[in-house]
């Protein structure tokens, strides 16, 4: 069925991904077109005929490659997640306090940038819209593929800061979720609802907000914080 012979495996994928069905270049083109349709018109814009027309392929090929329409949606999420295979943190070397703070702020800006991106918003809207349907694992797929990446990167960053003496905490997961809450607040939901969120519009506003959030985070988890 899936002959992944000429899939040039970019990036070191050594952490044993669960179901890594590599897509052929042609399939990636089709999925890219599907992403475009989704971003522009939402889930209802992803019709088999419309996608075939937009991608210059036949409906027969769609069903051969992805099984059915739900397979196309799942493949879109898997494909998009494979694109965001970010470098999972640096070597976590010892860094002075101010540069480590900049690292945290960089993570926060990256996080907000990803979350407010049109593709991410469209995929999240898709998965949430499908979450009610029983037997739909798009939500799990999205959280497994997308969130895991940012989570591992952030937790590595936090533990590096702990080892370097910049931070003090017991539960890494708890510290990460607090940082997430301080940075994102309810912006993600409001963005998905279509609202304008000023703090995500300009890089300047985003940097200002993240700086404040990281400041609060240090007051809660800094090495010189109260127990």
Binding residues vs a second copy (CB under 8 A): 38, 41-44, 122, 124-125, 127-133, 136, 139-140, 142-143, 177-178, 180-186, 188-190, 192-195, 216, 219-220, 225-226
Interaction of residue 172 with DNA, rule CB under 7 A: no
What, of DNA, a second copy, none, does residue 220 touch, CB below 5 to 8 Å by kind?
A: a second copy
Tell me the CA distances in angstroms from 16 to 95, 136, 141, 183, 222, one per residue in order.
30, 24, 16, 30, 34
Residue 23: CB minimum distance to DNA, A: 11
Q: Per CB under 7 A, does 132 bind DNA?
A: no
Q: Quick one: 71 or 212, whose CB is closer to DNA? A: 71
Q: Can you list the pairs that 35-40 forms with residues at least 24 positions away whose Cβ atoms lie under 8 Å?
A: 35/76, 35/79, 35/80, 35/119, 35/122, 38/76, 38/122, 38/123, 38/126, 39/118, 39/119, 39/122
The rounded distance, in Å, linking the Cα atoms of 111 and 92 is 19
Q: In the stretch 5-44, what mask flags binding to DNA with x, by CB under 7 A?
A: -------------------x-x-----------------x
Q: Which does 113 bind (CB under 5 to 8 A by kind): a second copy, DNA, none?
A: none
**Cα(185)–Cα(50) distance, integer angstroms:** 37
Q: With b meaning 16 or more CB within 10 Å and e meaning fewer, what string describes 72-111?
A: bbbbbbbbbbbeeeeeebeeeeebeeeebbebbbebbbeb
Mention every residue, 6+ apart, whose C-beta is less than 8 A from residue 106: none
Which range, of 46-54, 102-110, 156-164, 177-185, touches DNA by CB under 7 A? 46-54
Task: Enumerate residues 6+ apart whose C-beta is below 8 A from 201.
Answer: none
- Closer residue to DNA, CB minimum distance, 7 or 63: 63
226 binds, among a second copy, DNA, none (CB under 5 to 8 A by kind): a second copy
- Binding of DNA at residue 1 (CB under 7 A)? no
Alpha-carbon span 34 to 32, nearest angstrom: 5
Query: Total residues at the site for DNA (CB under 7 A)?
Result: 20
Minimum Å gap between C-beta 73 and a second copy is 13
User: Binding partner of residue 105 among a second copy, DNA, none, CB under 5 to 8 Å per kind?
Assistant: none
* Binding site residues, DNA, CB under 7 A: 24, 26, 44, 46-50, 52, 56-61, 63-65, 68-69
């Amino acid at each position: 069925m899936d002959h992944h012979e000429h899939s040039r495996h970019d990036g070191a994928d050594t952490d044993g991904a669960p179901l890594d069905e590599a897509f052929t270049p042609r399939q990636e083109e089709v999925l890219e077109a599907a992403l475009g349709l989704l971003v522009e018109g939402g889930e209802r814009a992803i019709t088999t005929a419309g996608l075939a027309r937009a991608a210059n392929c036949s409906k027969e090929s769609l069903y051969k490659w992805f099984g059915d329409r739900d397979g196309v949606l799942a493949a879109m999420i898997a494909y998009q997640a494979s694109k965001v295979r970010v470098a999972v943190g640096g070597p976590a070397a010892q860094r002075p306090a101010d540069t480590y703070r900049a690292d945290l702020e960089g993570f926060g800006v990256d996080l907000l940038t990803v979350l407010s991106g049109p593709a991410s918003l469209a995929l999240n809207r898709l998965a949430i819209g499908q979450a009610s349907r029983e037997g739909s694992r798009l939500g799990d797929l999205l959280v497994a593929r997308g969130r895991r990446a940012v989570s591992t990167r952030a937790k590595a960053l936090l533990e590096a800061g702990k080892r370097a003496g910049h931070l003090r905490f017991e539960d890494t997961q708890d510290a990460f979720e607090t940082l997430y809450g301080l940075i994102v607040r309810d912006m993600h939901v409001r963005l998905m609802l279509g609202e304008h969120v000023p703090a995500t519009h300009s890089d300047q506003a985003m940097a200002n907000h993240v700086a404040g959030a990281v400041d609060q985070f240090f007051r809660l988890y800094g090495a010189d914080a109260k127990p």
